[in-house]
Structure 1
Amino acid sequence: MKALIVDDEKHVRKTVLKLVDWEAFGFQTVLEAEDGSEAVALIQEHQPQLVITDMMMPMKSGIELMEWMEQNAVDCKKIVISGFNDFEFVRHTVKFGGIDYLLKPIDRKQLHDAVNKAVLSWKETNRERLQYQEKNIEVNEMRPMYRDKLLSRLLSDAAAGNAPAPGESYMREFPQLIGIRSCRVAVLDLNTLQQPIRDKYAASLDLLFFSLLNICSDFLQPAGRGIAFRNWNRPFEIVILLWDEPDTAPDWLRKIANGIERTLQSTVEFGLSTSGSVLSELHKSYTQASDALGKRNLLESGQRIHEYNPSSPWRIGTIRFGKHEEKIRLAVRSGNPDQIRHVLGEWFQAIGEMNHISMEQLKMWWDEFNAARAGWVEEFFLGYDGAQPQPTENRPFIVPLDASGRLSLPLLQQVFADSLIELSKMFVSMQTLSSNPMREIARYIEAHYTQDITLQDISARFHLNREYISRKFKSEFQETLIDYVNRIRVEKAKILLLNPHLRMTQIAQMIGYHDEKYFSRVFKKLTQMTPNDFRKEKMLKDGE
């Protein structure tokens, strides 16, 4: 910190200089001035935190100095030292924010206390100023997010059929929307960016959004032709509202696309709606833009603007993942990566003959794939101890594009292959840990006891000889496989019999028997009582 002593008498300045332990208070520099005019020059140059001034001085008095400081050095603290016990001097000291008014001769303790008070006051003022600055910075950083979320809410409200009222917060924030005659909506999906850009910003998606929105705003805001915002209802989407002169909307999007390509070295694609009212037809326009982007042909390159056309023959292809699902499941279970790649290649050979693949088509395949994979996870791992791999339904689907911006089928095939090979390796590893096929069969029975389970089914599923299974299973568990199935079912039946509202027929079907009489015979053989007797006995015990 810096201090300035202002007095036309040199010995007074030296006395003040000696009476204060400046270093203890945190002052590194103490300046001196003979009058108010010199003090003004020093204050402008050094910006001290404390000024100790006399009142009666030539050129510019202490009152004039403090009055000047009130306008030009607001944060600087003031202490007055005067030889006059004058009310007007005291009044002006208070008026201009003086910390204290001390009389000459100077008392060391009074001066010490005044300086201490001034330092504490300055630190508090500085702390408040820094907090205010930090708050302003935080507000400025949050403002774009706030505006984006307001406009995202406008979209969701429009989807719910709620028209914005004049008093709504987004109408106060964006009053220009009220006077718009017509508007076209454009959608930019970050998944249309090429892989190197997605990889570069993988750890900082917010920075990528910031860069893209800045480019959009650089074109739209100066011309007052629209606004771009991050759609918080969708994780990878930017929405652009382009108002008035609807015929020029594609030109503005081309300018933005060229700007993005120059800045990020990546091409982008937009879906563009027809013209409509921003307030009453916003949801319709947004849906059109999303459809135009989602149904574009990913096998074509060069077209950056996809305008909605209701007469276009949009359709999903007839090739389904389900047709190849069983072959792929068996390949995964085999644990052979080459076999997995081979059966996937058969599916992709059929895909390669298609002349139109849309984003909707890809998402359908991705959803089918993940549903199947989730089922395989349950089938392969249920009953194993330890952690189980998680299905991939929640993984975002990223469109694999080649250098020209077209869908790369080899890269897409590799995405599926990597996921399946990972699952297969986990299955093989789990089998290795288990190391006992009979235990694996027992776990399968415990998980599927409600189904029809035969030795033939078990043999086909686990690729083991039936005679081998019969011999090894009985050796491992001291009972036959069928007896093991029946015992599991009877144990489950005992629990269900505690419910008096369930009929015997229902219980038999719930544990895998289609014949109630056969269920009763099996139950009696294993428990030496009928299911009815077991229920009555349990109810009597509970009644006691």
Structure 2
Amino acid sequence: MIQALIVDDEPTHIQGLVRHVGWEAIGYAPPLTAQSGEAALALLRNHDVDVLISDVSMPIMTGIELVSRCKELGYRLQVLIISGYNEFEFVQEAIHVGAQAYVLKPIKTEEVEAKLTAFRAAIEKQRDIEAETNELQEKVSGSLDVVKERFVHDLVLEGLADDDTKESWIKLLELPPLMRGISVISFGYDRFMDGGRDAKSRIVRGSGFLKAVKVSLADFPGVIAASMGSEEVVAVHLNPLPEEQVRMEKGIAFVQQWIREQYGSSVTVGLSRIFKDWGEAPIAYKRVKYMMAKARLLEGGQVLYEERLDETEFLEHRVREEYIPEIVRMLEKADEAGKAVEYTSSVLDMLIAHHPFTYIQAFGLGLLSELARKRKLQDDAMADLNIPVWQRLIDCTTVPQVKDAVMEYVKRYAEAEQNKQNSQQHNLIQKISDYIEAHIHENVTVKQLAELHHLNASYLSVLFKKSTGKTVSEFVQETRMNKAMELLRDPHVRVYEVAEQVGFQTAAYFTYLFKKTTGYTPQEYRDYH
């Protein structure tokens, strides 16, 4: 049954609802009652309440303040506000702080029952969702295979460099300390040799592929395997022993033979070096994947060891396919431009440790060329800088000179992009602020402002808060109050006229908000000034 709580300072109003609403017929238990906000909060602390029904106008603590307090305390309630016609703006405020519906006085029983019935449906759906979520969580917790697959994905794609993430995985899976390190093994199905590419056959094959790897490596207590799609299985081997290498090779051969017999295709396998830190897993995985992709150009079905990887070729591949594209991508996003500078510096340091001067110089020229080709900035200052920097790079004779030239250009590029975006955002926010001030007598919403300026409403809200330190609603209310204070200094303008000119439908709600904001009623403020 659904439990409701009725709050009203008038006992007759409470009794009317208790007697005339068919609580049991609409799926509710007999309602709890309270005659003040404080009494309601006391009941909420001791009872499980699903629905709050409150009068908007009560002494000491209004219905608005009660709803707001419930939200602050974390109560998940469906809220029905009861209001008179002349209190309608209070209803809008109540909905703003968390109420879901309202009814106007004089109350019609069938209208209240309709709202409560809708609440019951929403509550039951929420309960169903929570029950299904809890059931799913229990299944996931009970299925160690699912948890292990998620762990392998996180490890090889993102690493466990974050201490909290690492500790949570270690605790969840009871992982051992890395006394001897980790290795990554990638089993790649050579699809180019297989004619069956329809969805069903790929799903079936992927399931069989994963099972084959798990069966072949079942004797290794430190191995955790996961599917990375229908054509790849990745295993991580924790604390591998030297004497396990022969058995590992036999397990790999078993997988290759099984795939060949079942599907007439081959499997290419790549094994990483043993590394000592969880955070090294992503780079180890990338190295193995590069090694496998290169080998497949000649022949599938090979077993490849990272020890034989050509470091120079791999670095060149990363520069071409990863480093330069990532720097360009980050610089083209003003909010990541600062990170791009740090990333460029770390890439240069890594390249300097492995390559001679001529390679570092070529990298710098390649990066600048790519930035000049793809950049979106069109200002003359940046355009005029390109040729001198290229000339400076060509004239460099030492590695530090190359790094200084590249970093100076990247920093100036990042600053220019940030300045451009800041200027655009400042102009946009100023335009929106001016519109709000010019239309303060209207009820302008975030959605309307977003549509007027061709923006997404959520993006506008975030941008406005970031630029001004206030939400759009806070800015509107502050602008209204400032305008109201200005008008109240003129004794010829009546209070209700001030309310209308700053966008309030009723003087009562204007008085309520003005006192809440300034500490004075409009008349007290006028008298003081």
State the TM-score bracket (shorter-chain normalisation): 0.3 to 0.5
Larger radius of gyration: 1
TM-score by length of 2: 0.33
TM-score by length of 1: 0.32
